[in-house]
Amino acid sequence: MTATFLRKLSSILILLWVAFGLVACGGFMPKSNDNRHNQPLSSVTQAGLRNMGSSPGEAMVIRIFKQEETLEVWKRTSAGQFRLFKTYEICAYSGDLGPKIKEGDRQSPEGFYTITPGLMNPRSSYYLAFNTGFPNKFDRAHGRTGSDLMVHGDCSSRGCYAMTDQGIAEIYALARETFKGGNPSFQLQIFPFRMTAANLAKQASSQHLAFWKDIKEGHDLFELTKAPPAWDVCERQYIFNASSGGALNPMGPCPAVVQIAGLAEKQQADEMAFASAVESEAQKAARLAAEAEREAAAVAAAKERGEAINGAVSGLFGGLGSMFGGKDDDVVPVMSGKPAPKPLPRLERP
């Protein structure tokens, strides 16, 4: 091989590596005898499910809270409601609070997604993974782009949610057993933070506030009913528990929704708390600004007093110098360059 050919080959490999980095967290390991995707659930995990009245094959829901860096697995119990089974720490996620907008922005997605067996990746180059399903119906309605947005292991993220290998191994096994139990999918809910009025108030100036309030309704429904809400998209926004059957036109008008007891009251209370929290945040900001202004004024006043004192001291010592022979700059030494005269002899006294 010539040196020129090797340089060209190196350039191509570098470009491929960069391109791979920009398409989030895709990639597959070469086929091997690795059986990590079939690791059985530990006896401790199975006992935990039994103790809460659930089983590996029961339905599940995953919730992600980006700011808190937590992933929750909820399992349906024999009573029919979902209960929190376990919380996992997220090693890393990419970008800031807010949804993913376009390919290469390195943002981790937010919203509601449906995970099917086809989105599971048993041969991920990031240990194990499942695809979030981004872009979903809502994302496409807004022209958002991106691919290979995963929840995976390896503690490294390029627009994904990265877990420890141990964590993703258990989450993957829980999902696998859910599918084996006859469930065709499970719901993935991704939020920027815990959807409280106080947290929303802290982000009141965000361009994403309307979007966050939109997905908060799905969050509140799950909190109230302990069951994943049915979601769809109309008028380019999420709709939960629509009364009409069949898929909706994401650009079309929204139908009525099934009224859930307690939702309207919760939303009203949350709006009042949000308004109060926004006012409190504004008052806090005004107080901090006033304190900063007072501190700056105090520093300026101290500097002015220091300059005044220095001026007074300089004037005092200058006056004393005048009293004792004038100023230093009035004393002019005489240097003639001539030899000094010889001293006269000492006078003799009788």
Contact 27, 153 (CB under 8 A): no
Catalytic entry in 152, 155, 208, 234: 152
Residue with tokens 């258990």: 170
Class of domain 20-194: mainly beta
What is the radius of gyration, based on Cα positions, of the chain? Answer: 36
What's residue 344's pLDDT?
A: 60
pTM: 0.76
What's residue 145's pLDDT?
A: 97
Calpha distance 257→118 (Å, rounded): 30
Catalytic entry in 25, 91, 160, 234: 160
Average pLDDT per consecutive 10 residues, the chain (350 residues; last block may be shorter): 50 40 57 79 98 98 98 97 98 93 95 98 93 98 96 84 96 98 98 97 96 98 97 97 91 95 94 91 75 81 80 66 54 58 58
Where in the chain are the domains?
A: 20-194, 195-229+261-303
Tokens of 125: 């180059």
3-class SS letters over the chain: CCHHHHHHHHHHHHHHHHHHHHCCCCCECCCCCCCHHHCCCCHHHHHHHHHCCCCCCCCEEEEEECCCCEEEEEEECCCCCEEEEEEEECCEECCCCCCCCCCCCCCCCCEEEEECHHHEECCECCCCEEECCCCCHHHHHCCCCCCCCEEECCCCCCCCEECCHHHHHHHHHHHHHHHHCCCCCEEEEEECCCCCHHHHHHCCCCCCHHHHHHHHHHHHHHHHHCCCCCEEEECCEEEECECCCCCCCCCCCCCCECCCCCHHHHHHHHHHHHHHHHHHHHHHHHHHHHHHHHHHHHHHHHHHHHHHHHHHHHHHHHHHHHHCCCCHHHCCCCCCCCCCCCCCCCCCCC
What's residue 135's pLDDT?
A: 98
Contact 147, 25 (CB under 8 A): no
Tokens of 136: 């979903």
Any residues with CB less than 8 A from the CB of 226 and at least 6 apart, and which? 81, 82, 83
Question: Quick count: other Cβ atoms within 10 Å of Cβ 235?
Answer: 14
152 has catalytic annotation? yes
What's residue 33's pLDDT?
A: 54
What's residue 61's pLDDT?
A: 98
160 has catalytic annotation? yes
Closest CA to 39 of 131, 171, 130: 171
Angle (deg, nearest 10), helices 43-51 and 165-180 = 60
Calpha distance 91→69 (Å, rounded): 7
- Beta strands 161-162 and 150-152: pairing type? parallel
Calpha distance 235→123 (Å, rounded): 38
